[in-house]
Each structure stands twice: as structure tokens, then as C-alpha cells.
Chain A
Amino acid sequence: MKILIAEDDLISSKILQRNLLNWGYYVVPARSGAEAWQALQDGELRMTLLDWMMPGMDGIEVCRKIRRRKKYKYTYIILLSAKDRKQDIITGLSSGADDYMTKPVNLLELRARLQTGRRIIDLEDKLLFVQNQLKDLASRDSLTRIWNRSESAKFLREELERGHREGVPTGVILLDVDHFKRINDFYGHDIGDQALLQVVSRLKKNVRKSDKIGRYGGDEIIIVLPRCSSSEIFKIAERVRLSVAKKGIKTELDMVPLTISVGCAASDVTGILSTERFIKVADEALLKAKSQGRNRIVVANGLSTRKQEHKNA
């Protein structure tokens, strides 16, 4: 565990450093408030011993600055001071310190109080971990672990805005598994799930690193493609379609053939900025691919969807 010692008195600082090293801390020393603040820009520095009286910025001011900042994990602060009147202790704690110790510090007491600090930091870490897990749960599809509908729509909105700002096209692909209902009805939902998982796994291998895959609903999958023009989107869609079609999935009964129909839209052709309309255009292209016989790609053009047929592999 890293710990900052902000102490202008060299002897106090050396004694503290020696003991903290012996207790297994990694010590970062600072000789003034300004130096301490500089060192605290390191987000992994989460424990601090702050001397109240320091030249320039004093410990109280450093404390207040720490508490005002955002985006940092919790910093546990023990304020050290020779001031031992009740009012001083209250002022010190009110500035945002977690604990207050009078100097010269009793080292056994310091060691015990640092343990308290570590408990608080551990608690925060656990909390953040759970929070991240919850966030992940709330933004991913539980079966396939790809992004869910609302998260995918968010990505698309962000990419459309960014693409517009930077003058680069954004693409979106909507696809679904051909005859998915039939697979489910005939082989059961387990095989249906397997089919979906297979499709997702093949998609992942065939899109670009920057592309984001999400489950838009049922067997409908969305891919958000940053920096992607209508000519590029077709190549990617074709790669994806072929990767799915090349092999079916094995069941106890037989091999189930697996194909997808794909609808694409790219903003350099559609000129659409609204996320909803952009998805709708891609969805129309997908419907067209279905109605034209499935296992094919349709890329939307400006006004209506442009037919771009590609026969079965």
C-alpha cells in the first residue's frame, strides 16, 4: 500500500518513513503542501499522513483540496499536528481529515489507526467492484454477454455525434438468424440459444476491434461501426455473413444450417443524424434482405434501400 508523508520537518519525516517501511508500506515523501499535492495526482496514492503546519500550502488546505476533487478514489487522511486543543482537532477534522493525531506521534497508535484507514479503503474497493459488476450486468445481455439494446443505442448515438463532429462516416448493421423461430420450435430453446451464441462468437471474430456488438432484441443483433463508410460496411457484412453460413451447428439429431440476413446503413450515404431513424433505415434494409430470400446483405441508400444482392455462399 502506497502512503504519502507530507512533513516539512526532516527528522519527523525520517522517523515516520522508517517505521512505515518496516510495516510494509511504500512511502512517498513530500516536504511541503505543494509537493504533497503534486504527489497526490497519482490516483493509487490513497493514504496520507499530512502535517498541519507546512510552509506555503498547509495540511488543512491540502485536505480541503483532496476532498473537493472528483473522479479520484477515496484518499484516507490522517492529519498530524502539535496543536492539541479541542478547537484545533475540530478544525482539522472539519477540513476533511479522517483522523487526527498529535505530535510526536505514538507509533503503535499510528499503526493501529492506519489499519482503520486500510479497512475503509478495502470497503471502498469492494463497493466499487460490486458497482462495476452491477453496471456490467445492467448493460449486457445475460445470455450472450454482448451489449444490450439500450447500451448499443447509446454507442450508436455517441458514434454518430462523433462522426459528425469529425467528418467521418458511421455504420450500423442489423442482422438476424434466418428461421430462428423454426430452430427454436423444432430443436428447442437450448439449441436456439446455442445458435445465437455461435453467431455471436463468429461475429466477434469478423468485425473490427473498434466495432461494438449488441443484442437488439430476440435474435436481432446490432453492430455499431465507427469510421465506416458504405463501401467498407459491405465488406465487413459480407465477411460476417460468410463466417456464419460456412458451418451449421451440431445437434444430437443432425447439423442445423445457420445463416443470417443483414441490413446495413452508413451515414455517408444516408446522411442521417438521428439514432432512431438510422436504426430504422438499417432495419428496413434487413427486412428487404429477408423478403429477398434471406442469407444476404442489403445496404440502405439515401432515400429508400438500395438493392445489393449477394447470392448464397
Chain B
Amino acid sequence: MPDPVHSESSQPIDFSTVLERIGGDVSFLQELLDLYSQEFAEKKHLLEEALARGDSTQIQEVGHSLKGASANLSLAPLQRLSLAIEMAGRENDLEKARQAIGALGTEFIRLKTFLEVHPLEELG
């Protein structure tokens, strides 16, 4: 079984599912993705702070909320990594949390790159 923290072979976003969820509105999807990017930056920052403090409750909470946002936009890899962070927080496993948070950052960059290569305008 592949390690969810280290290998992300699937597509960063499942366009067809997310568009179905929002009635095919591409510009709305763009708006939501921009919102996600802003929130992601804030939450990543919160996670790093929590990690530095050893605050596993905060890690769990932020992981949980990021998991929900990722699921809504059909960002499956980010959703899985957020779940891993939430679980690590719950188990008070800071090392596992650190790894997952690192992988989360990498996955986000992969999403950004993917969106640059596959601009939403081409979806309409």
C-alpha cells in the first residue's frame, strides 16, 4: 500500500466532480479556488505555529477544517494529507504531523502548477 504522506500519484483536483457540485459554474470554481488559496496560506501558517509549540489539539483542529475545504473542492490528495495531519494531532504524534505538513505544502504547489498548466478557462 502506498504511503499517503509521500506518494501522490492521483490528479490534484477532480474537475468533473467539483463542477458537478457547483452546477458547472467555472467562474465560481475560480472564486472558490482563490478563497482556498488564501485560507490554505493562513492554515499552513497556523499548523507550523502549532507544530513549533507542540500544540497537537490545534494541529488536529486545523487539519480537520482543511480536510473539509479540500473535500469540497475535490482536492483528494490534499484531503488525504489533511486527514493524516488531523490523525497525527489526535494521536499526539508530532513527528508524523511534521512530515504530513511538509507533504501538504508540496502537494499545494503541485496543485498550483497543475492549475497553471490546465487553466480553468479551458474547461467551460
Residues of chain A at the chain B interface (Cβ within 8 Å):
8-12, 14-15, 18-19, 22, 53, 82, 103-104, 107
Contacts and interface: CB of A to CB of B under 8 A. Distances in A.
A15 B21 contact: yes
Given A11-B32, A11-B36, A18 B72 contact: no
Nearest to A51: B68
A104 B68 contact: yes
B73 interface: yes
Contacts of B67: 82
A18 B24 CA distance: 12
A103 B22 contact: no
B30 to A, nearest CB: 12
A164 B36 CA distance: 65
Contacts of A15: 21-22, 32, 72
Contacts of A9: 65, 68-69, 72
B32 A104 contact: no
B123 interface: no
Given A104-B72, A107-B21, A14 B64 contact: no
Given A11-B69, A18-B23, A53 B64 contact: yes
B36 A19 contact: no
Contacts, number: 48
A22 B28 CA distance: 13
A18 B25 contact: yes
A53 B66 CA distance: 13
Contacts of B109: none
A18 B32 CA distance: 11
B91 interface: no
B26 interface: no
Contact of A10 (B21, B39, B64): B39
Contacts of B65: 8-9, 53
A113 to B, nearest CB: 16
A92 to B, nearest CB: 16
Nearest to A9: B68
A14 B68 contact: no
B68 A103 contact: yes
B41 interface: no
A8 B21 CA distance: 19
Given A18-B28, A104-B71, A104-B72, A11 B21 contact: no
Given A11-B35, A11-B73, A14-B35, A19 B23 contact: yes
B22 A10 contact: no
Contacts of A14: 31-32, 35
B22 A11 contact: no
